[in-house]
Amino acid sequence: MGSERSKKDSSVPRSAFSIQRSEAALVLFAKAPIPGQVKTRLCPPLTPDEAAGLHGSFVLDALEQSRRAAKLARGKSAQGSLDRFVACAPSPAHVFFKILEEREGVRLIHQIGDDLGTRMEQAFKALFAMDYQRVLLVGTDLPTLPASVYMQALSLLSDHDLVLGPSLDGGYYLIGLKRPAPDLFAGMPWSTDRVLALTQKKADTLGLKTALLPPCRDVDTIDDLLALIHEAGLEARGTRQGGKTLARSPSPLVPSLSVRTAGVLRLLAGRLSSRSSPGQTGMVGSKH
């Protein structure tokens, strides 16, 4: 969720302070889909261009679901409304983010810091400084995450200090707070399977009342990608994993998976199947 940037940039555009705000904010942590800089753990067997295309579709998925969440929030009450932000890397000036700003009406902020913890802590600090009462941060590696999860997180923050969305790799895909808690992000072994457990332990020490959302698989590795393809029933005929042929799943698309991303996954499944032929490198079942 993010990359480094210069310390001289401001985290929040000056204009953001002059616009009318809702009570709650949702911040999507996103990288621009630059080949060689995103989804590198999928390469190989994916090419950098394929990985970047997949990542870009995932970012759009997150934006579309966040738009649905904001619409649901507006339908409940003015107090339940939700403002959407994108924390951008390498910079909000990247053309990808400027297009999202224009088309989606999201507000762009910088990612500040040398590691993920600092960047998240700074994002919370910036949003709470704008007088938001509840702030959610979420990554963009979850193409099947429905808008209802955002709504559930906001609801839980009504009577909890902290909400976490556990990911299957031992981290978390979403974190929500009602006030700054910088100690939650300090000294954390990011990208390990201990992040969620240590965060919960820190929260207990800080006296934070914590709630958990349903667990979800984010797509970081080739095994995660294959699991998503299989769950959606999009395997190409003869797709192989670990030397075994996977049967086509008769199940329909998962409801929250976009038609766009389903098309990308179907295309990649076919390409991965051809690359797993005998004598070719980049086997589908290999781990990187």
For residue 140, being part of any structural domain is answered with: yes
The domain boundary residue, chosen from 212, 233, 252: 212
| pLDDT tens column, 72-125 | 888 765 445 899 999 999 999 999 999 999 999 999 999 999 999 999 999 999
pLDDT-derived band at 254 (thresholds 50, 70, 90) equals confident
Q: What pLDDT does 195 receive?
A: 97
Residue 13: asked if its preceding bond is cis (omega within 30°), the reply is no
How far apart are the C-alpha atoms of 268 and 22, rounded to whole Å? 40
Q: Give the rounded distance of the alpha carbon of 271 from its chain centre.
A: 25
Cβ–Cβ < 8 Å for 236, 273: yes
Q: Is 140 in the same domain as 231?
A: no
Residue environment code for 23-52, b if the CB has 16+ CB neighbours within 10 A, otherwise e: bbbbbbbbbbbbbebbbeebbbbbebebbb
Question: 34-71 pLDDT, tens per residue?
Answer: 999 999 999 999 999 999 999 999 999 999 999 999 99
Given pLDDT bands bounded at 50, 70 and 90, which one contains residue 5?
very low
CA 138 to mean position of chain CA atoms: 5
Which domain-ending residue is among 212, 236, 255? 212
Confidence of residue 255 (pLDDT cuts 50, 70, 90): confident
Structure-token match 């579309």, residue found: 64
In a domain, 6, yes or no: no
pLDDT at 235: 83
Residue 166: inside a domain, yes or no?
yes
Q: What is the pLDDT of residues 160-182, one digit of tens each?
A: 999 999 999 999 999 999 999 99
Q: Do 153 and 198 fall into the same domain?
A: yes
As a whole number of angstroms, the distance between CA 202 and CA 199 comes to 5
Percentage above 70 pLDDT, the chain: 81
Calpha distance 45→272 (Å, rounded):
7
Q: Among the residues of the chain, which ranges form H helices?
A: 48-76, 95-104, 116-129, 147-156, 195-205, 222-231, 259-275
Question: What pLDDT band is residue 238 in, cutting at 50, 70 and 90?
Answer: very low
Judgement on whether residues 58 and 180 belong to the same structural domain of the protein: yes
Residue 45 lies in a domain: yes
User: CB–CB of 9/91 below 8 Å?
Assistant: yes
Q: What is the pLDDT of residues 272-285, one digit of tens each?
A: 988 875 444 433 44
108 lies in the same domain as 21: yes
What distances in angstroms separate CA 99 from CA 5, 37, 60, 86, 136, one per listed residue? 21, 20, 11, 12, 23
Residues 227 and 201 in one domain: no
Domain of residue 134, residue span: 14-212
Domain assignment present for 280: no
Q: How many angstroms separate the CA atoms of 225 and 228, rounded? A: 5
